Amino acid sequence: MFSKILIANRGEIAVRIIKTCRRMGIATVQVYSEADAGSLAVEMADEAVLIGPAPAAQSYLLADRIVEAVRQTGAQAVHPGFGFLSENAGFARRLRDEGIAFIGPNPEAIDAMGDKITSKKFAAEAGVSTVPGHMGLIDTPEEAVKIAAGIGYPVMIKASAGGGGKGIRVAHSDADMAEGFAAVKAEAMAAFGDDRVFLEKFIVDPRHIEIQVLGDRHGNVVHLFERECSIQRRNQKVIEEAPSPLLDEATRMAMGAQAVALAKAVNYDSAGTVEFVAGQDKSFYFLEMNTRLQVEHPVTELITGVDLVEQMIRSAWGEHLAFRQEDLSINGWAIESRIYAEDPYRGFLPSIGRLVRYEQPEEGPHEDGYTVRNDSGVREGDEISMFYDPMIAKLCSWAPTRDEALDGMARALEDTHLAGLGHNVPFLAAVMDQPRFRSGNIATSYIKDEFPDGFHGLTPSERQTHILIAAAVAMNEIAAEQSGDPSDRTDWTVLIDRQPHGVSLSYDEDEALLLAFTAGGHARLTDIDWRPGLPQFRATLDGEPFTAEVARVADGFSIRHRAARARVRVLTPRLAELYARLPEKQAADTSKLVLSPMPGLVVAIPVSVGQEVKTGETVAIIEAMKMQNILKAERDGVVKAVSARAGDPVAADDVLVEFG
């Protein structure tokens, strides 16, 4: 077995690989850019080598630097993780030529399946059903428009070398195609150094289901069942689960057999994923093959008990697979939520900065019957950089059934607290509570369907209203006692975003807080775990534990339970009457301003002072996290001022263009 492996990646996947190597007794070398000098992966690895500045094109994407680090440290093999050079056949071939093991598939398999255009042609020749489209290279927007007309809208524009949801647009018209084609080529070149683009028919109301395959260098290939990855935003997966709530056993076996046949046809010899687009009728079509470890591999590990990173290492060493297809089975259900540094209340725009606070849920089995796994590459105090993907963690839950796994995930999200930047935990919690998601009736359009106007949180349910009231009055009582000024009052009015809720308090013989609501009903609050200054309020309400995120504000508390958040005030009935008479603060009028929605770099400002602009015309393009964001005019107008130019760094809410 290898004695030392170099990890040519960063973040949570680097940490994940290090953990398996430690268990196997293998030393690790972590390469890092200047931006990652103080990272968790660097701290955990046995050795670390600086390979360049922060931009990936000057560090993680430079094969020469990786090879030099291998030679410098005496590593015998390279694990590329995902992204960066993981699906670069030239890099895999370079390592082989230099006598360095590549912990991934052979370069010929990457060539055959790693390129989306070539893989679709190969799959069609092998008799695998594929989505209709144009697999040839397309050079101009005019050519793209002509081809799209033949396929029929809607059409998906995809970067051939794409991945991670980048380099993808859906066009519904000739105008969409012309604009989207240029944007995809630009994103593809910036992210992958390859601007080739192809087109395929966009299947309406589809589901994204993928099969995990695993092969060795002796011709053996098995599948480890499926993952449902239909909860996506901007074509990037957000929530994954295994198995899929759509598939029956016959469809599962058919997809698995097709994936294995395709892998065997290209002599696949590592972990890989065959992706399918599936209809609600369980029909399925080959989409692409990812010739690497997937981000969502933990859910497969949780239901099969197989460590995929370990199997990749053993395959690269030349070992036979230790199991056959009939040895594998599905045990329970697993859910993965991708926690990103992005603000769901601002259109999910990237939110970079320092992670001032990061409290993670306890990993391992919980007494309520679910198990938590949290793959993270950052710690409290770390910086989330604009140079890389904004993922903070992959939070997973496992339980015997899907409903139990969903309940476990919801509780794990409650126990996750982040501060210092925007994050999508409230949104993930909202999905866990949505009846449609819990029913399993989902599609890749789920987020757009359920949140058509963006995410603004959810209205508190009756139980959540009781949680907000109970947490607020309990904190009010505790704070008053600790300040030496306890109140004997038992009747309060609790304002939840200005809505009054009457409540009477008392205590029983066990010192539990009893609440009687004026609107009807009672509640019993026990196991209170909070003191002034703590950001999380933990307790049990009527026998069910909960965690709420809390903060003191000027005249009350800001409280969030899952996707419901509110300003909560505990007042005497008289003060509550006076509050009701106060006018609400009016938001500033920014209708004539085009503001930067996120920190980033200005790619272009294609308007000038005095220019007449129509609604829908592009007025600015901002790049952040390797994605281009096109800002369009929301009204007709004449440009009064332009406050930025191409190449300028901008912060969130900086004024870019002002209309007269």
Active site residues: 288
Give the CA dihedral 141, 144, 146, 150, nearest 10 degrees.
-160
The two beta strands, 499-507 and 491-496, are: antiparallel
Alpha-carbon distance of 132 to 644, in angstroms, equals 43
Judged by DSSP in three states, 13 sits in helix
Q: How would DSSP label each residue in 209-270?
A: EEEEEEE-TTS-EEEEEEEEEEEEETTEEEEEEES-SS--HHHHHHHHHHHHHHHHHTT--S
Q: Taking a C-beta distance cutoff of 8 angstroms, is the pair 44, 12 a contact?
A: no
Query: How would you class 615 by CB atoms within 10 Å of its CB: exposed for 0-12, middle for 13-18, buried for 19 or more?
Result: exposed
HSE at residue 172, side-chain half, CA atoms within 13 A, is 1
> SS3 for 655?
strand
Measured distance CA(607)–CA(590) in Å, rounded: 19
CA angle 626, 450, 299 (to 5 degrees): 65
- Type of residue at 241: E
Residue type, position 71, single letter: R
Given the structure tokens 């360095």, which residue do they identify? 100
3-class secondary structure, 48: strand
Please, are residues 438 and 406 in contact by the beta-carbon 8 Å criterion? yes
Helix (H) or strand (E) holding 538: strand 536-541
Instruction: With residue 32 as reference, give the H or E element that holds it.
Output: strand 27-33
DSSP per-residue string spanning 472-532: HHHHHHHHHHHTT------EEEEEETTEEEEEEEEE-TT-PEEEEETTS-EEEEEEEE--T
Question: By three-state DSSP, how is residue 640 classified?
Answer: strand
The angle subtended at Cα 465 by Cα 459 and Cα 467, nearest 5°, is 125
Please report the sign of the dihedral spanned by the C-alpha atoms of residue 374, residue 380, residue 381, residue 386: positive
* C-alpha 655: how far from chain center: 29
Nearest-Å Rg of the Cα atoms of the chain is 27
Question: Which residues is 507 bridged to in the sheet?
Answer: 513
H/E segment holding residue 275: strand 271-278
Residue matched to tokens 């308090």: 505
